[in-house]
Amino acid sequence: MKKLLFAIVLLFSLTPAFAQQKNKVRLQAMYDSIKAAGILHPEFVMGQCIQETGWLACKKCCLRYHNLFGFYIKGNKCKKFTSETACIAYYKAWQDKRYLKWQKKHPKQDYYHFLKSVGYATGDKYTRELKPKVEWVKKNLRL
């Protein structure tokens, strides 16, 4: 019984690592698209993409609407995009509207603080979950 329980725990702990390696080419392509769009702090934004889409592998999230970043509209519904490129362009416009103005007021704070300040990250839990994904991006993708 203990061996079976250990095997199940091991399986679930390795699933994210498997998803990371399985999707690494797609993750790199997505990062490259984010960077090519001129989005600031692309490693953080790619971390958000990973967080919101389960390593680009989720089946029951906003990804089915090409929504890479978990944007919602009124009624707590996923914002729908025609393509991933359209979603990246939306993020760029969203960031352009907010980030530089925020940065002028808070020049010593990081992108985690920005996300929390503008209401994207609803609390410290999101930041705690996002940090390891940003670190993975920095270590595993060509920046």
Across all residues in the chain, what is the average pLDDT?
Answer: 89
Cα–chain-centroid distance for residue 111? 13
Between 6 and 48, the higher pLDDT residue: 48
pLDDT tens profile 63-117 = 999 999 999 999 989 999 999 999 999 999 999 999 999 999 999 999 999 999 9
By DSSP bridging, strand 77-78 and strand 72-73 are antiparallel
Q: Count the residues in the chain.
A: 143
Chain position carrying tokens 């670190």: 135
Asked if 34 contacts 46 with a C-beta cutoff of 8 angstroms, the reply is: yes
Q: Domain for residue 106, yes or no?
A: yes
How many separate domains does the chain show?
1
Instruction: Extract the tokens encoding 98.
Output: 């907010």
Q: What is the pLDDT of residue 21?
A: 64
DSSP bridge pairs for 77 = 73
Q: Domain for residue 12, yes or no?
A: no
Q: Domain for residue 48, yes or no?
A: yes
For the residues of 54-92, what is the DSSP string, one character each?
A: TTTT-SSSGGGGT-SS--EETTTEEPP-SSHHHHHHHHH
Q: Domain for residue 13, yes or no?
A: no
Q: What is the CATH number of the domain that holds 70?
A: 1.10.530.10
Residue 68: give the domain boundaries. 23-140
Q: Domain for residue 85, yes or no?
A: yes
Asked if 142 contacts 28 with a C-beta cutoff of 8 angstroms, the reply is: yes
Cα separation of 116 and 99, whole Å?
A: 12
Q: Domain for residue 40, yes or no?
A: yes
Angle between helices 42-53 and 124-140 (to 10 degrees): 110
